[in-house]
Amino acid sequence: PALPLSSSSSSTLADSNGPKQPFVIGVSGGTASGKTTVCDMIIQQLHDHRVVLVNQGCYDIHRQKQKSVTLSLLAGNLVRYENLFCNAFAIMLEYQVSRCFEQLMLIGAFKDSFYRGLTAEEAKRVHEYNFDHPDAFDTEQFLECIEKLRCTQSVQVPIYDFKNHRRCSESFRQVNASDVIILEGILVFHDPRVRNLMNMKIFVDTDADVRLARRIRRDTVERGRDINSVLEQASPFTYLNIFLYAKFVKPAFDDFVLPSKKYADVIIPRGGDNHVAIDLIVQHIRTKLGQHDLCKIYPNVYVIQSTFQI
Ligand code: ADP
Ligand code: C5P
């Protein structure tokens, strides 16, 4: 398939950012377009490289089979005191705790997220809150995290309590410096400061009807929400339903997400079904990482490549 490419892709890891910075990939697209699926596929195929995924909005942590994510929820408290326990007891306790958190995550209660916490007043009227508007995100903190990761510093990604729409002030996910940083979210291309930190921008382009069908399935089956309770506020999850899809999600897609597609270097039709596109992207990242390694070994060697070719 034709993969539309833009000239902004011509910069390389070595020539634009200096030899030692990680390769930053942005993955955008509408809700339920398959962004997470595409990221998971890229990460799986890059298994011999250090890759981290940083999500701007919601990430269904249970889909990522990484125990460390659940453990790090408590890292602030537990790991700090780890030395006080004998190893066996600490491991057993961590396991139990992580199981509890996995259960909570399965119903979608806690996720990595740069969503702002709602004020008490906003939380009371959550059905009027637009989670698809750029203002719903803490872009300054998102930017700060990316800048640190690019400088190979580790960061603490906030954990969001989706039940109460609050930041879990005590819990963070520790993200360490890596060769590849993938930034995923519906609005990762919206802010130019964030966009300009990316070496490669991917837009997952999936038909709106398909996305809506997937979202209904995901929100009811995977996120425990009730599709029938359109205006009812009894459940904490009822604010996301067909009514609010039409009121907030679709207009925000038209106003903010779709216009940012023009910044993409690569557009992937059909998301995770498009194995050819994903293979080509992985191949490109491998090439860049090869150059990265070369630059690490020979810091005075700069690899110059003026065109991006798939
Ligand atoms: P996004 O991260 O863009 O919101 P996801 O990757 O989470 O999208 O996919 C949304 C939902 O659609 C999930 O339930 C996922 O399992 C499902 N899904 C994703 N890609 C496909 C596909 N190619 N075919 C069928 N279902 C898919
Ligand atoms: O994973 P996806 O890209 O679909 O995540 C973005 C969507 O998550 C947004 O369209 C927003 O409506 C939804 N969302 C949610 N619950 C929140 C915040 C955002 O379902 N508390």
268 near 274, Cβ under 8 Å? Answer: yes
Q: Any idea which ligand is nearest the CA of 240?
A: 2
Q: Judge if the beta carbon of residue 30 lies within 6 A of ligand 2.
A: no
What SS3 class is residue 170?
Answer: strand
Instruction: Provide the pLDDT for residue 124.
Output: 83
Instruction: Provide the pLDDT for residue 133.
Output: 96
141 near 89, Cβ under 8 Å? Answer: no
Probe ligand 2: pick from 114, 131, 214, max atoms within 8 Å of CB?
131
Instruction: Provide the pLDDT for residue 224.
Output: 57
Instruction: Provide the pLDDT for residue 117.
Output: 85
**CA distance linking residue 262 with residue 257, whole number of Å:** 10
7 near 181, Cβ under 8 Å? Answer: no
Q: Judge if the beta carbon of residue 162 lies within 6 A of ligand 2.
A: yes
Cβ neighbourhood burial of 232 (10 Å; 0-12, 13-18, 19+):
exposed
pLDDT in tens, 285-306: 988 887 665 545 544 434 333 3
Instruction: Provide the pLDDT for residue 273.
Output: 94
> Domain 7-60+177-297 maps to which CATH number in 2.60.120.620, 1.10.150.120, 3.40.50.300, 3.40.50.1100?
3.40.50.300
Question: For the chain, which ranges sit under pLDDT 50?
Answer: 1-19, 61-87, 91, 94-95, 98-108, 229-240, 295, 298-310
Count CB atoms within 10 A of the CB of residue 257. Answer: 24
Q: Whose alpha carbon is nearest atom 12 of ligand 1?
A: 214
Give the residues across from 53 on adjacent strands. Answer: 182
Instruction: Provide the pLDDT for residue 291.
Output: 63
Instruction: Provide the pLDDT for residue 38.
Output: 96
Instruction: Provide the pLDDT for residue 243.
Output: 72
Q: Which atom of ligand 2 is nearest to the CA of 31?
A: 4
Q: Which atom of ligand 2 is nearest to the CA of 219?
A: 20
Q: Which atom of ligand 2 is nearest to the CA of 240?
A: 20
**CA distance linking residue 136 with residue 160, whole number of Å:** 13
Q: How far is the CA of 85 from the centre of ligand 1 (A)?
A: 41
Q: Judge if the beta carbon of residue 271 lies within 6 A of ligand 1.
A: yes
CB-based contacts of 276, cutoff 8 Å, min separation 6: 1
Instruction: Provide the pLDDT for residue 79.
Output: 40
19 near 296, Cβ under 8 Å? Answer: yes
Q: How far is the CA of 268 from the centre of ligand 1 (A)?
A: 14
Q: Any idea which ligand is nearest the CA of 188?
A: 2
Whether ipTM > 0.90 holds is yes
Instruction: Provide the pLDDT for residue 261.
Output: 97
Instruction: Provide the pLDDT for residue 165.
Output: 74
Instruction: Provide the pLDDT for residue 275.
Output: 96
**CA distance linking residue 77 with residue 54, whole number of Å:** 22
Instruction: Provide the pLDDT for residue 159.
Output: 85
Strands (E) in 176-254, as ranges, are 180-184, 200-205
Q: Whose alpha carbon is nearest atom 7 of ligand 1?
A: 36
Q: Judge if the beta carbon of residue 32 lies within 6 A of ligand 2.
A: yes
